[in-house]
Structure 1
């Protein structure tokens, strides 16, 4: 839950190396004093601290050896100057400090901060510091982490996570990889993170959303210099608010043919619900027409669930071509299984050459290399399916999600939507997209079927695989977040997300129309 009530974030996401190069450019090429930059970062972090926690009680500041530790010392100094009670613990020995970090430590001491050396504090006293803290500031490792945190940092990370007090991470939660969002060993679970200079990609994908909490960004007035530095972002941050404008405005004289015909091929025996959810989601996301091709026994239940969907019961793949010829976009995979029925259906879809969304078992079948690369397809693997597509382990996928998505795209073409917290959309453009946000209620069967239906619907309307994939992932998450407001996380079901789609879309229509209700466009 956001602590700040929401705040805007830039789109560009950088690797740790790129941010370090931007920082070096600002200091070396633009003549900005490094210590002044550190002071600005600390002042910004302190402002965020009091905005999030106006009455924090005792503040425990944990400082490392590098510039991240320097930020921490100056945050402690700011807090003391404002009359707050501060306990400052030097996790790295202060006699090892150098450069701007040493200057920061000296200034903190001069400003009245009582810095205690971790090595000189008894274990019982350390425990008491964590117990009495009303807020913990993590300024131990920042972007400098590489691999498993060593002692004594690992022990302090563990104590942070065991403490009752919330944690504010400075620049990055200690132990989190700034580039990939992976955690080797342990990382601080922060309630909020204040990050500087450039947004780190690892805060938004992989395990980043779990550890970073609410992310705030402070550019420290380096925005223009970040561009001048020549450092390219690693990815682009996308959310529903930033991408919803791509959804086409509807004319007063619009008709169903204008918004595409989606064919959903789904639902072998035992998995009929997958097709029904995908088809209904396609309808709710605005497709002009939706046809569901499924097993004959699911025709009546599908019509009862969503009578606006045209439903055809198929026994053999040879029955599918007439339905394919009428469709603009095909969604294939939810619940098709890997038996003869599903293989026949997928073969017909692939042979058609039509724009398509491949999900679930269609991906497992494609993993055997039965499909040729195609530019007009969207693949939607979760990490397990991605591991089969790349013939590697799930851990390999999660170790660098952006790289994995791009590798799948290079093998199979089109657009790859790698699902998970911080969904990655790779499309062969300048930058992949990372969809900002996560929702634990979506960790249940059927959510992917809903996403595939939304994808097919937007692909039919936008006729752009990349925009459709990013917009669909963002819309899917926004609808899940809306549904969770009344359903919570544990009880959230795919049908709740489908039911929330019209409300999210309606609010976007009103916003884009300037708050004047449904928007209309008069045809020329």
Structure 2
């Protein structure tokens, strides 16, 4: 998603029911004509379409039976009026159209749009129709549809996938759950999604980031009525541009004691790199002091990689309390394994009562042996670890990631950061956050270790676990995106992300004027 579009999006994310209620309120309570609203939505889709593809070629619009289909018929009508080559497929029988959607179909017919019924079309006719299209518009299934798409919608979705031409989704990609981001069956993979009235949470988590492509938002001038409609957001969208303003400025009198002493407890035999990555990431994210507690054989490699940290080799958990006594925040879990060494370390960390970030095998040990509930910890599970913590299947986590994060908060307390595309951050108290954006290059070992180190550093500086997790996740993604510009996705490594963190932070400081004196030479 282009950063320019991403940063212009609202922060409030709603459920599908809430957006439908906002739509109803605007029409029934504020007297806005529903067909006028539908025309405005279609006009905004067409405007976005021709801006992205000025010469789109032959356009094929796939229309369902509801208002989403009505939007599609009006998009086709707008294209026809502008002299473009456009046709519609009535995927749902026209007889099912009613209200504004039927008016939209009539408008498209009046404007000369060719409309063919999907029912009864032979496979070779559909092949020819899709084969001649240069751009597809998905207006089949709206926010009121849940579960796996039925036929003929499922077949049309598969044909869109195999057509290998750009796809524009109207409001949301067909097959995607607008609230959860789940996809129970076939789902459209759009190049651009133009969505209306209120942002739907499902567009930003689960399958949403992959299915939506670039997300464009059109309020249709309904903003003045959002407060009065009584609908509350399901989550808040977070990105680096929005959360970086919460980072405190560093005063001229700053010293290392003011920015937290982070203790990283990590790296059993065979996993030494995990602790080193977490410790270096914590240093780069602004921690005043960083100590790494690891196996003795990893002391020298850690100092060679990052000489600014302190490293202590530990053989037994009884050696850890002395380090815990002087730490402000503890990061425990990267590479600690599930043997006696890791279990001893986790038990000491929990017994200390220190604010902590628990990741990786610390979570697996919690699921099997060390039951913990605490308001001061941050848990950072991926879906597999979340499933083990809740004793369920991964599919149950992914079917509703927001609900899963809330469940983890209820069981274990504290703040939960559920990793994945559209990372969800919940505290059980405030509205959950969803980190918008994704980076496929982060799907490699060690990225989670970097994240836990960054979050630990920010927890030590901010003292607020929800803010630390939100800012840390956004910083992690922003650094990965910056690194990917030169490294690409396939070759991206955790160390590349660590190296990019200072540049992301420096740009924020530059915008604030914090570096003005240095850069001006005064």
Residue ranges of structure 1 left out of the alignment (5+ in a row): none
Matches of 1:433 and 1:3, distance apart in 2:
19
Matches of 1:115 and 1:516, distance apart in 2:
61
1:198-347 to structure 2, matched below 5 A, reads 198-347=198-347
Residues 465-505 of structure 1, C-alpha deviations (whole Å, 9 max, x = no match): 00000000000011111111111111111011001101111
Matches of 2:227 and 2:258, distance apart in 1:
40
Matches of 1:514 and 1:498, distance apart in 2:
22
1:482-497 to structure 2, matched below 5 A, reads 482-497=482-497
Matches of 1:447 and 1:502, distance apart in 2:
17
Matches of 1:229 and 1:328, distance apart in 2:
44
Q: For the structure 1 residues 369 and 413, does the alpha-carbon distance in structure 2 shift closer, same or farther, using more than 3 Å as the test?
A: farther
Q: Is the 8 A contact 1:91 1:140 kept in 2?
A: yes
**Pair 1:75 & 2:75 matched:** yes
Q: For the structure 1 residues 60 and 47, does the alpha-carbon distance in structure 2 shift closer, same or farther, using more than 3 Å as the test?
A: same
* Residue aligning to 1:146: 146
Matches of 2:358 and 2:190, distance apart in 1:
37
Residues 79-109 of structure 1, C-alpha deviations (whole Å, 9 max, x = no match): 1111111011111111221110000000111
Greater Cα shift, 116-125 or 253-262: 116-125
Residues 24-47 of structure 1, C-alpha deviations (whole Å, 9 max, x = no match): 111111111111110010011111
Matches of 2:227 and 2:11, distance apart in 1:
13
Matches of 2:128 and 2:11, distance apart in 1:
41
Q: Is the 8 A contact 2:7 2:241 kept in 1?
A: no
* Residue aligning to 1:118: 118
Greater Cα shift, 263-272 or 105-114: 105-114
Matches of 2:514 and 2:46, distance apart in 1:
36
Residues 319-378 of structure 1, C-alpha deviations (whole Å, 9 max, x = no match): 111111111100000000111111111111101101000000111111136233111100
Q: For the structure 1 residues 518 and 225, does the alpha-carbon distance in structure 2 shift closer, same or farther, using more than 3 Å as the test?
A: farther
Residues 260-285 of structure 1, C-alpha deviations (whole Å, 9 max, x = no match): 11000000000000000000000000
1:508-519 to structure 2, matched below 5 A, reads 508-513=508-513, 516=516
Give the SS at the match of 1:206: coil
Greater Cα shift, 427-436 or 417-426: 427-436
* Residue aligning to 2:91: 91
Residue ranges of structure 2 left out of the alignment (5+ in a row): none
Q: C-alpha displacement at 1:228, in angstroms?
A: 1.0
Matches of 2:422 and 2:374, distance apart in 1:
25
* Residue aligning to 2:32: 32
Q: CA RMSD in A?
A: 1.5
Matches of 1:257 and 1:113, distance apart in 2:
70
Greater Cα shift, 348-357 or 117-126: 117-126
* Residue aligning to 2:131: 131
Matches of 2:471 and 2:517, distance apart in 1:
22
* Residue aligning to 1:156: 156
* Residue aligning to 1:409: 409
Greater Cα shift, 197-206 or 91-100: 91-100
Q: Is the 8 A contact 2:260 2:461 kept in 1?
A: yes
Residues 109-168 of structure 1, C-alpha deviations (whole Å, 9 max, x = no match): 111211111125332222122112111000000213221111110100000011121100
Q: Is the 8 A contact 1:3 1:214 kept in 2?
A: no
Q: Is the 8 A contact 2:181 2:206 kept in 1?
A: yes
Q: C-alpha displacement at 1:413, in angstroms?
A: 0.7
* Residue aligning to 1:429: 429
Matches of 1:232 and 1:216, distance apart in 2:
21
Greater Cα shift, 369-378 or 13-22: 369-378
Give the SS at the match of 2:482: helix
Q: Is the 8 A contact 1:205 1:422 kept in 2?
A: yes
Matches of 2:299 and 2:181, distance apart in 1:
44
* Residue aligning to 1:466: 466
Q: Displaced runs of 4+ in structure 1, greater than 3 A?
A: 1-7, 514-520
Q: Is the 8 A contact 2:76 2:86 kept in 1?
A: yes
